[in-house]
Amino acid sequence: METTTIQERLIALPTTAISDATGGHTNLHASIKPLSDHFKIAGRALTVRLPDGENGAVLEAISKAQKGDILVIDAKGNTNRAVAGDFVISLAKGVGVQGFVVDGVIRDIAAIRELDFPVFSLGTTVAAGNKHGGGVLGVPVSVGGVTVNPGDFIIGDIDGVVVVPQEDVDQIADAAEAKVAKDEAREKEALANGEESIRAYLAKVVK
Ligand SMILES: O=C([O-])CC(=O)C(=O)O
């Protein structure tokens, strides 16, 4: 029998159900948004901490990434200097990086949309990042108000980005799958038969 991997389970789950399962404590701030609505990512974090306005260490992270890794980049919320443009994103895509989650901004948006590479960021800018060095990889980072440790699981979609600490991931996936099943049952009950079933449902839950 084929076994389902944790990555397959997470990618099939909406971030909303994972947020319900985690209690919302590890949801990134809503200002970190996908560049395109259809982006969906689930995988392990390769963390990058950048000095303000720098982006040199992003190339080092790309060179060290395993296939499927998500680069989680702490850019200190800087919105003036891009952590990546279409060239850097092409390199990441070419070596199998799954996506970028950035507490900062990117540039060359039209070309990155064409690459169809999932970027979640604070937005865009025109200016390149400085390349004086000084970034670090594989350390705990703060992104969107949440601490992300190397190897934590990151799940992102149109609703936002959620972090699941690696030691909790099986339990959170179980709870999120149970929540999806519960929501489906509720929807079936309430919406199966138009206004009649809606009123019956409301009569049951409104005290
Ligand atoms: O080189 C940079 O800093 C970002 C950039 O423009 C690219 O990746 O195309």
Ligand 1 pocket test: pick from 54, 80, 108 the residue with the most ligand atoms within 8 Å of its Cβ. Answer: 108
119 CB within 6 A, ligand 1:
no
Listed in sequence order, the residues at least 6 apart from 14 whose beta carbon sits closer than 8 Å to its beta carbon are 157, 159, 180
Task: Pull the structure tokens for residue 165.
Answer: 């600490």
Listed in sequence order, the residues at least 6 apart from 15 whose beta carbon sits closer than 8 Å to its beta carbon are 27, 155, 156, 157, 159, 160, 161, 162
What was the pLDDT predicted at 198? 96
* CA 124/CA 106 separation, integer angstroms: 5
Q: Does the predicted TM-score (pTM) go above 0.90?
A: yes
Ligand 1 pocket test: pick from 59, 86, 117 the residue with the most ligand atoms within 8 Å of its Cβ. Answer: 86
Superfamily of domain 6-165 in the CATH hierarchy: Ribonuclease E inhibitor RraA/RraA-like (3.50.30.40)
What was the pLDDT predicted at 207? 87
State the burial class of residue 157 (Cβ atoms within 10 Å of its Cβ: 0-12, 13-18, 19+).
Answer: buried
State the burial class of residue 115 (Cβ atoms within 10 Å of its Cβ: 0-12, 13-18, 19+).
Answer: middle
What was the pLDDT predicted at 26? 97
What was the pLDDT predicted at 1? 60
Spans of all domains in the chain? 6-165
Q: Report the atom number in ligand 1 closest to the C-alpha of 55.
A: 3
What was the pLDDT predicted at 3? 80
| Cβ–Cβ < 8 Å for 162, 19 | yes
**Could you say which residues of the chain have pLDDT below 70?**
1-2
* Interface confidence (ipTM) of the complex: 0.93
DSSP 119-167: EEESEE-SSBPB-----EESS-EEETTEEE-TT-EEEEETTEEEEE-GG
Number of H helices, E strands in the chain: 7, 12
State the burial class of residue 123 (Cβ atoms within 10 Å of its Cβ: 0-12, 13-18, 19+).
Answer: middle
The DSSP output letter for 168 is: G
* CA 22/CA 164 separation, integer angstroms: 8
137, 171, 116: which is closest to 45 by C-alpha? 137
54 CB within 6 A, ligand 1:
no
| Cβ–Cβ < 8 Å for 27, 19 | yes
